[in-house]
Amino acid sequence: MKVSNETKVGALTVIAVVLLILGYNLLKGRNLFTPTNTFYTKMSYNPGIAVSTAVDLDGFKVGTVTDIEMTQGAKSEVIIEFTVNKKFKISKDAVVASFATSILGGTGLKIYNGDINGPVCKHKDTIAAKIELGMVESLAPTLTKIKESLTSFLNKLDTSFTQDAGKDLNAVLANLKDITANVKVLTLQTNDMVAKEKIKLDATLTNAESITDNFKSNNEDITIAVKNLRKTTDQLAQADLKKTIEDAQKTINELKTMIAQINGGQGTLGMLATDKKLYESLLSATANLDAILKELQKNPGKYVPFKKKTK
Contact 133, 45 (CB under 8 A): no
What is the C-alpha separation between 192 and 187, in angstroms, rounded? 9
Q: Which ranges of 133-263 does DSSP label H, i.e. alpha helix?
A: 135-160, 163-217, 219-238, 241-263
**Of 85, 82, 110, residue with least CA distance to 96:** 110
What is the C-alpha separation between 211 and 205, in angstroms, rounded? 10
Look at 29-33, 59-63, 208-212, 256-260 and tell me which has the smallest mean pLDDT. Answer: 29-33
Contact 51, 80 (CB under 8 A): no
Residue 117 has what DSSP assignment?
A: T
Look at 62-76, 128-142, 168-182, 226-240 and tell me which has the smallest mean pLDDT. Answer: 128-142
Q: Reply yes or no on whether the pLDDT at 74 is more than 60.
A: no
- What is the pLDDT averaged over residues 4-12? 78
Contact 97, 46 (CB under 8 A): no
Contact 123, 82 (CB under 8 A): no
**Of 19, 59, 22, 66, residue with least CA distance to 41:** 66
pLDDT value of position 213 = 82
pLDDT value of position 91 = 92
What is the C-alpha separation between 112 and 182, in angstroms, rounded? 71
Average pLDDT, the chain: 79
Quote helix, strand, coil % in the chain, to nearest 5.
60, 15, 25
Give the chain's end-to-end CA distance (angstroms, integer).
195
pLDDT value of position 135 = 54
pLDDT value of position 107 = 83
Q: Reply yes or no on whether the pLDDT at 249 is more than 60.
A: yes
What is the C-alpha separation between 239 and 71, in angstroms, rounded? 118
Phi and psi of 131, rounded to 5°? -90, 130
- What is the pLDDT averaged over residues 185-193? 86
State pLDDT tens for residues 276-300.
Answer: 777 778 788 888 888 888 877 777 7
pLDDT value of position 311 = 44
pLDDT value of position 103 = 65
Contact 88, 72 (CB under 8 A): no
pLDDT value of position 24 = 64
Q: Which residue has the higher pLDDT, 157 or 53?
A: 53
pLDDT value of position 96 = 93
Phi and psi of 231, rounded to 5°? -65, -45
What is the C-alpha separation between 268 and 148, in angstroms, rounded? 114
Phi and psi of 106, rounded to 5°? -65, 145
- What is the pLDDT averaged over residues 125-136? 75
- What is the pLDDT averaged over residues 161-190? 77
